[in-house]
Amino acid sequence: MNSPAELKLDWCSHDAAWYAVKHWHYSHSLPSSKTARLGVWEHGRFVGSIIFAWGANLRLPGEFGLKMTECVELCRVALAKHQTPVSRIVTIAVKMLKRAMPGIRLIVSYADPEHGHVGKIYQAMGWIYVGESMGPGGMMLKGKPTHRRTINSKYGTSSVAWLQQHVDCHAYIIRTLPKHKYLFALDAEMKRVIEKLRKPYPKRAASVDRDTPASQAGEGGARPTAALQA
């Protein structure tokens, strides 16, 4: 039986978070909006990053009567093979975010069924499920699936006609499945608000904390090291 992991979470650099998503998250990308990034270490070894983002969906805070600075999205859980349950890692990350940024009242996250996710980690932590949400979808651009928010940020538009004329004549829209939407309140009043929106959890996978194994990332502290930038 393995001994409990010596776990550490600390604020990390953009480079460290980028290393984690590049190697251990299906998106292989970081949000273009402002982020708050926590690194995760076990026994001194860097095993990934938990990343929160602001402004990924400009309309999202308004759905709950909140300001942009009061609502954040948990957008990446990028972890290598590790011992600690993902639910514990994310719970610690949420507590650290709340302490560092007390103005935040609500965290939103999505589970993508196109990648086999139903939100089992959020269910294990008791997050509130509010149903499916159809996002802005994606596009095939220069032979690579790309989020429309990323395209908008880079080119100022995600118009297919404009992109075909100026960027890639073969660009086209990718139709995606709706994502499962989960909420977590950081104060009692917001918890009462979102509790009214609760729906039954979608069907859960067999394992609550299953992750795809990955190679070790090397060691490092809260700042990027040569091992993290390799």
Burial class (CB in 10 A: 0-12, 13-18, 19+), 163: buried
Position 134 scores a pLDDT of: 60
Compute φ and ψ for 222, nearest 5 degrees.
-70, -25
Name the strands in the sheet holding 128-133, side by side, starting at the edge strand that comes first in the sequence.
7-11, 35-42, 45-53, 71-79, 106-111, 179-185, 128-133
Domain ranges of the chain: 7-134+178-229, 136-175
Position 216 scores a pLDDT of: 34
Position 228 scores a pLDDT of: 36
Cα 34 to Cα 82: distance, rounded to the nearest angstrom: 27
CATH superfamily of 7-134+178-229: Gcn5-related N-acetyltransferase (GNAT) (3.40.630.30)
pLDDT tens digits for the chain (230 residues)?
355 679 999 999 999 999 999 999 988 888 878 899 999 999 999 999 999 998 667 778 888 899 999 999 999 999 999 999 999 999 999 999 999 999 999 999 988 877 677 889 999 999 999 998 765 567 888 887 777 767 876 888 888 888 888 889 988 887 666 789 999 999 999 999 999 999 999 985 444 444 333 333 444 445 543 333 32
